[in-house]
Amino acid sequence: MILLKGLARMKRVILVSAVLFVLLISLFFRLPAFYFQHYRGDQIIYIALAMKLDKSGFQGYNLRGVDLFKYEDRDFIKAVPAPEGSKGNMLEKLPSYYDIPLFHKPPLFIYALMFSHKLFAHDKPYLALSADLYSRYPFTGPKSFFKGQFYSVFVPVSFSLLLIAATFFFGRVLFSGKVGVCAAMLLSISPIELMTSQKIWADDILAFFVAAALISYYLGKERRNLPLIFMAGSCAGLAALTKPSGSIVILVVLVYELLEKRVFSKQFMVFLVTAVLVPLPWYLQVLKTYGSFFYSPASIQERLSGPDPWFKFVIDRPWYMYLVNTPFQTPLFILVYPVIFGLFGKCVDEKAKAERKKKIFLFVWITMFLMSFLMSKVGKELRYILPAYPAIAILSAGLLETVQKKLDSRFGYHIGSLTAIVAIILCTWWSVSIGWHYLLVRKVGLINLPL
């Protein structure tokens, strides 16, 4: 008995050590984010909005009255309130559709930036690094770079690590500790995850709340735990308060419940009501301002003045881009395809049926996000389906563990384990190389490889 307890304790220590290793190496891969510029595109917009929320409250949730100036050492841009009555110089540099009374994107990510600034940089203005030095200092840049923008980079990086930890947890609960660790590692090295976690973007906080909602819902249903269901609905609502695409969580749960023939259960109704009520005040404000729950000023501008080259590119990408680019950039993600095809086979025993039920939940998770963006008009970027990446990683890791066990059983000498380790190392080299090349060398916000 003592020996068995000792072995169980040792396994837990090994598992915890493996998870900590994955999180530490994930943080290492994301360290460059603290040393390169974050003032281009949406990033400076989000920082300016955080400043407006801080100075003017929610009634100032727009880009009017924002001035951008060089900071003291000229390596930074600072966002400050413009003189009263002035629209500010920021709007002069942006398309006209940004001059609106209520910013069209939900505010949760912006509030996170504001609170992070209050916590880490309350004595400094809202800064964004403009110095283009990150290819020279990817890890050991000037301390001023780290200190000046720690508040803003902290948000996406921390939610990236939380997303990786959540992926481990769900993989472990559904299948095994090995699957959880492997899935967390595969998600961590994905070029898209590397990119989104190192930009001042809302993608990682969105993906985390999506994962938290679906994990909580699945466990709440299995354990008949109403507080978990309530937490799932709350997280789904927070996802919708991050981006409108967060509401796809409701579609995932609805389709899964339809497949399970229990859509009007008490748990589902609690989830649905909570998921709708949490973000409702925001969407009612959008409805009051624009006459619709969802407002896209860019699409209106496009109809008036012709397609923007960027939107034209992402809209014209082939529909199968998601299916090709995802495994090309993270090769072990290709294992998700045989798992999905296997769902249509027959189950020979109860254990196989239970396994298929878990996989169907993950399959619905992936499919609903994929189909939603294929049918939408927002274009095709891999970061749009980042919320589905935990499910892709878990299914891929599950098949890798199955192959590893079969090889070990057939050939011995830990052949399967060694093969799995080598495959993960090669996948890490390939994926991180792609991610860092596009981040540090090409310095772009889109990985268009191969399509």
Domain hosting 86: range is 42-152
In a domain, 327, yes or no: no
In a domain, 367, yes or no: no
Domain tally, the chain: 1
Q: What is the pLDDT of residue 378?
A: 80
pLDDT single digits (tens) 209-262: 999 999 999 999 999 999 999 999 999 999 999 999 999 999 999 999 999 887
pTM of the full predicted structure? Answer: 0.95
For residues 184 and 408, the model is more confident at: 184
In a domain, 143, yes or no: yes
AA letter at 140: T
Dihedral sign for Cα 367, 371, 374, 379, please. Answer: negative
Q: DSSP secondary-structure letter at 211?
A: H
pLDDT at 137 over 60: no
In a domain, 114, yes or no: yes
Cα first-last separation, the chain: 57
AA letter at 337: Y
In a domain, 63, yes or no: yes
Dihedral sign for Cα 199, 202, 203, 209, please. Answer: positive
pLDDT at 298 over 70: no
Q: What is the pLDDT of residue 146?
A: 79
Helices (H), 224-318: 226-240, 248-260, 266-277, 280-290, 297-305, 309-316
pLDDT band at residue 1 using 50, 70 and 90 as cut-offs = low
In a domain, 236, yes or no: no
> Once rounded to an integer, what is the mean pLDDT over residues 160-185?
97
Could you tell me where the beta strands, DSSP code E, fall in 59-142? Answer: 66-70, 76-81, 126-129
Of 235, 315, 316, 322, nearest in space to 279 by CA? 235
Task: State the burial class of residue 107 (Cβ atoms within 10 Å of its Cβ: 0-12, 13-18, 19+).
Answer: buried
pLDDT single digits (tens) 276-288: 999 999 999 999 9
> Once rounded to an integer, what is the mean pLDDT over residues 114-129?
95
pLDDT at 202 over 50: yes
Average pLDDT along the chain: 91
Q: How far apart are CA 232 and CA 274, in angstroms?
A: 8
pLDDT single digits (tens) 35-52: 888 888 899 999 999 999
Q: What is the pLDDT of residue 305?
A: 46
In a domain, 78, yes or no: yes
For residues 389 and 410, the model is more confident at: 389
In a domain, 258, yes or no: no
Q: What is the pLDDT of residue 348?
A: 67
Beta sheet of 126-129, edge-to-edge order: 66-70, 76-81, 126-129
- Residue 340 pairs in a beta bridge with none
Of 88, 48, 52, nearest in space to 67 by CA? 88
Q: DSSP secondary-structure letter at 83?
A: P
Q: What is the pLDDT of residue 5?
A: 66
Q: What is the pLDDT of residue 304?
A: 46
H or E stretch covering 66:
strand 66-70
pLDDT band at residue 360 using 50, 70 and 90 as cut-offs = very high
pLDDT band at residue 331 using 50, 70 and 90 as cut-offs = very high
Q: What is the pLDDT of residue 235?
A: 98
